[in-house]
Chains A and B, each alone.
Chain A
């Protein structure tokens, strides 16, 4: 019984370690998308302004 409980908690520990890395990677990917779309929006806005100025 003790051995089984040991394995159960070991599994929780390993899962938690991997899960934290995976969640952070997802967070980075989401932020990357958001940043890139914001950058392209700003660049196109600046281009539009330049065209109007000309």
Chain B
């Protein structure tokens, strides 16, 4: 039953994304200054919000592990971080393609892009560090500390376009009237769809982490006898 619910969630997310492709490509008109390329926004922003939600889940789970020392929290943090990293990569790649077309460059070291790149590196470090530590308690503790530290960069990424002058445009979601009302429904639907896909992937990853823990304990038992 739980398996079916997970896959239903993922399928629903993909269906919403596909239905939205029709709306984005065929129903919405081009933007006056950017032309067709602005449509990348419908993937770029939802990928960022999904990544941040995943990193927030990892933060809460990491704090949960440090408080309770229950490995279920560590498992949840690892799963959420990996999925968040995938969506952060998607955000950076789509942003870079967009930048190449609009700014004429793939990358620039402005505050938003640099802080996002640092965030990406921090979580990459988390993912590389985990398999390098064999002892489970030590691995979970260090991972939790790194996860909490890495999350400190999320507000910097978010506020960077308000704190500093950046090449990256100013916020459009929180500025009233900055966005055409017709763009809101497909944008919100894409955010929902990506979140559903992200949660599905996280659940699948969570199950894998549990099996890995079982394998770990079986190996230890086999060594002991």
Q: Which residues in A have some Cβ–Cβ distance to B below 8 Å?
A: 2-3, 5-7, 9-10, 12-14, 16-17, 20-21, 24-25, 28, 31-32, 35-36, 38-39, 42-43, 45-46, 49
Contacts and interface: CB of A to CB of B under 8 A. Distances in A.
A20 B89 contact: yes
A5 B101 contact: yes
B56 to A, nearest CB: 20
Interface stretch (B160-168, B171-179, B206-214): B206-214
What's the dominant secondary structure at chain B's contact region? helix
- The list of the 7 closest CB pairs from A to B, nearest first, reads A13-B40, A9-B101, A6-B35, A17-B43, A6-B36, A13-B97, A6-B37
Interface residues of B, number: 34
7 contacts: A6-B35, A13-B39, A17-B47, A32-B208, A35-B212, A43-B218, A46-B218
A46 to B, nearest CB: 7
Given A35-B211, A42-B218, A28 B204 contact: yes
A36 B211 contact: yes
Interface of B: 21, 30, 34-37, 39-40, 43-44, 47, 86, 89-90, 93-94, 97-98, 100-101, 197, 201, 204-205, 208, 211-212, 214-215, 218-219, 221-222, 225
